[in-house]
Structure 1
Amino acid sequence: MKAVRFTNWKTFPEIKDVPRPVPGPGEVLLKIAGAGACHSDVAVFDSFDESMPVAGQLGPEYTLGHENSGWIEEIGEGVTGLNVGDAYLAYGPIGCGHCAACSRGQDTYCANAATQPYLAVGLGRDGGMAEYMTVPARNLVPLGDADPVLAAPLSDAGLTPYHAIKLALPKLAGGGKSALVIGLGGLGQIAVQILTAITGAKVIATDMKPEAMAEAERNGAITVPGGPDQVERIRELTGGEGVTAVFDFVGITPTISTAQQVVARQGRITVVGVAGGPVNWDFYSNPYEAELTNTYWGTIEELYEVVALYREGKISPSVKTYSIDDALQAYHDLHDGKLSGRAVVAPHGA
């Protein structure tokens, strides 16, 4: 079968022919409907190297793709209650399965992550940027009759912002609240939809791309372009009080600085983007009791909630589909900043 393979550090992936995998005990074989291309993939093959703390778990070679959906093709030994042909999302993280975090379905924060052979499907373990993929049956979230190709990005681009927003809900409860989304790529666009769906907050969004801001406006956001008056205009939209909850989907020093300048007293800044920009902080410039935190992915329980929002029509990822033969072009388009939504490779047709 064809698969997009990460072959080495600082090396663009390749399409190779590899054997079709066989599900082991407790696993299923998914016929891939859709596999999302993510900036995290680009970071792995474009920026990371063997000096990274997780290099041992992300070392080549393996198939990329950690945002996956598909139909059950085969069922492994010991798996019951699942039917061949049914459509599922695949929860990507795979922890040890027996620590406290994993028992909560929060494999992203597995206490034994450092001893695991990989981080997730598509991140150290063969992922879904291929015709077929194996995955633990525990990691499947049913899609019912929802379109699995369009749903594929929900397993990361939907789950990651949902987790960050859900943790901030105590700040956003009640009237007169506001939320700011910085960065309107695939995750930021879905974040706008989630905020309008589950909160009553005024949603503000900012980006440098007019087309990305136009899409956010269609989903209910008030947009502010980047520029010298960006901070002033955002604060004006909050009556000068500052933003209740800021979600930074970029994570570089300038965007974090913008968040710090616009957040309200007792507000919250969540850095979701993994660019890794350093932060300057001091007691007198930080609004009193304003929180600065980060989040990573989400829980499998929350993925069920994301799918519920999708099936109810409250969120809908913007998707551009590619064939498996054009999968490398999807990564080129992502790398070159040509996408405002999500690139999804559909190996068996859209």
Structure 2
Amino acid sequence: MRAVVFEKYQSAPVLTEVEKPTPGPGEVLLKVAGAGACHSDVAVFREFDKEHGPAQLRPSFVLGHESSGWVEEIGPGVGAGIEVGAAYLVYGPMGCGHCPACSRGQDTYCENAATMPHLAAGLGRDGGMAEYVAVPARNLVPLGDADPVAAAPLSDAGLTPYHAIKKSLPVLQKGGATALVIGLGGLGQLGVQIIRALTGATVIATDTKPDAMRRAEESGAVTVPGGPDQAAAIRDITGGRGVDAVFDFVGAAPTIALAMASVALQGRVTVVGIAGGTYEWGFYGVPYEVELTSTYWGTIEELHEVVALYRAGRITPDVEVFELDDALEAYRRLEAGELSGRAVVAPHGTVSAS
């Protein structure tokens, strides 16, 4: 079968022939419906080397850590409830399966991660940027009759903001609450929608791209363009008090600084983006009792909740679909910043399981 493979450090992936996987004990084989192209993939094949980056992400492996598909084959030992032909979303993280974190479905914080051979499907273990992928049955979330191609990014671009927003609900579930979304790529756009779906908060959004801000406005956000008076403009919208919860989907030093300059007394700033920015904290430099924290991905239970929002029509990923032949072009456009939505590679086209 054909697959997009990360073959060597600091080099673009390749589209090549690999062996079709066979599901092992407790696994299923999926005919891939869609696989999202993520900036994390770019970091893996452009920035990492033997000295920089987790050992589990050494080449080579098939990319694609946000994917969906139809069950093609069921491996030995899989219990009842998994149906051949049914559509599922894949929970990408794969921990040891028996530590406290994995037991509660939070494989992202597996206590034995250092001893694992991989971090996730598509991150160390062969992922979904291929015609077929084998995954543990435990990692499947049913999609019902929802479109699995458009759903693919939900396993990361939907789950990651959902987890961050859910942890910030205590400061958002009140009258007059406000939230700020910094960075309106795939995660930020879904972040705006999720905040609107879960809370009554006013959502403020900012980005450097006018088209991205326009799409956020269509989802109900109030937008603020970049510039020297950006933080002041955000505070003006809140009547001067600042924002209750800030979600930075970039994570660069300037965006973290903007977040801390915009947050309210007893507010919460969550850095979700992994651009590597730093922030120098001072006691009198920010309002009292402000929390500055980070999150990473989410739990499988939360992915079930994300899918429920999707199936109810409360959130809609903005996707641009590519054929497998064009997967490398999708990554090129992602790197160049030329995409307006999430690139999704559909190896079998936008067709049903048949």
Instruction: State if a TM-score over 0.5 links the two structures.
Output: yes
User: Partners in 2 of 1:135 and 1:52 — Cα distance?
Assistant: 27
What's 1:46 paired with? Answer: 46
RMSD across aligned positions (CA): 0.6
The normalised TM-score by structure 1 is 0.99
User: Partners in 1 of 2:51 and 2:253 — Cα distance?
Assistant: 22
Q: For structure 1, list consecutive stretches of 5 or more residues without a partner in the other structure.
A: none
User: Partners in 1 of 2:202 and 2:30 — Cα distance?
Assistant: 40
Q: CA deviation at 1:229?
A: 1.3
User: Partners in 1 of 2:137 and 2:129 — Cα distance?
Assistant: 19
User: Partners in 2 of 1:299 and 1:346 — Cα distance?
Assistant: 25
What's 1:66 paired with? Answer: 65
What's 2:275 paired with? Answer: 275
1:34 partner SS:
strand
Retained in 2: the 8 A contact 1:34–1:148?
A: yes
User: Partners in 2 of 1:161 and 1:269 — Cα distance?
Assistant: 13
2:261 partner SS:
helix
Q: 1:317-342, CA deviations, whole angstroms, 9 ceiling, x for partnerless residues?
A: 00000000000011011100111320
Retained in 2: the 8 A contact 1:27–1:135?
A: yes
What's 1:284 paired with? Answer: 284
User: Partners in 1 of 2:201 and 2:338 — Cα distance?
Assistant: 30
Alignment size in residue pairs: 349
What's 1:169 paired with? Answer: 169
1:12 partner SS:
coil
User: Partners in 2 of 1:48 and 1:102 — Cα distance?
Assistant: 27
What's 2:265 paired with? Answer: 265
Paired residues for 1:305-316 under 5 Å: 305-316=305-316
Q: 1:133-186, CA deviations, whole angstroms, 9 ceiling, x for partnerless residues?
A: 000000000000000000000000000000000000001011011000000000
Once structures 1 and 2 are overlaid, which stretch shifts more, 314-323 or 75-84?
A: 75-84
Paired residues for 1:98-177 under 5 Å: 98-177=98-177
Once structures 1 and 2 are overlaid, which stretch shifts more, 250-259 or 77-86?
A: 77-86
Q: CA deviation at 1:50?
A: 1.5
Q: CA deviation at 1:232?
A: 0.8
What's 2:222 paired with? Answer: 222
Retained in 2: the 8 A contact 1:96–1:110?
A: yes
Amino acid at match of 2:245: A
Q: CA deviation at 1:47?
A: 1.1
1:171 partner SS:
helix
Retained in 2: the 8 A contact 1:91–1:155?
A: yes
1:94 partner SS:
coil
User: Partners in 2 of 1:154 and 1:53 — Cα distance?
Assistant: 25
User: Partners in 1 of 2:261 and 2:83 — Cα distance?
Assistant: 52
Q: 1:2-29, CA deviations, whole angstroms, 9 ceiling, x for partnerless residues?
A: 1000011101000010010000000000
What's 1:184 paired with? Answer: 184
Once structures 1 and 2 are overlaid, which stretch shifts more, 246-255 or 74-83?
A: 74-83
Amino acid at match of 2:289: E
Amino acid at match of 1:23: P
1:301 partner SS:
helix
Retained in 2: the 8 A contact 1:184–1:340?
A: no
What's 1:92 paired with? Answer: 92
2:168 partner SS:
helix
Paired residues for 1:22-41 under 5 Å: 22-41=22-41
What's 1:347 paired with? Answer: 347
What's 1:15 paired with? Answer: 15
What's 1:327 paired with? Answer: 327
Q: CA deviation at 1:52?
A: 2.5
Q: 1:179-219, CA deviations, whole angstroms, 9 ceiling, x for partnerless residues?
A: 00000000000000001111010100000000000000000
Identical counterparts, % of pairs: 69
Amino acid at match of 2:79: T
Once structures 1 and 2 are overlaid, which stretch shifts more, 132-141 or 277-286?
A: 277-286
Q: CA deviation at 1:64?
A: 0.2
User: Partners in 2 of 1:76 and 1:334 — Cα distance?
Assistant: 35
User: Partners in 2 of 1:205 and 1:272 — Cα distance?
Assistant: 15
Amino acid at match of 1:121: A
The normalised TM-score by structure 2 is 0.98
1:250 equivalent in alignment to 2:250: yes
Structure 1: which 4+ aligned runs deviate by more than 2 Å? none
User: Partners in 1 of 2:107 and 2:212 — Cα distance?
Assistant: 32
Retained in 2: the 8 A contact 1:24–1:76?
A: yes
Q: CA deviation at 1:53?
A: 4.8
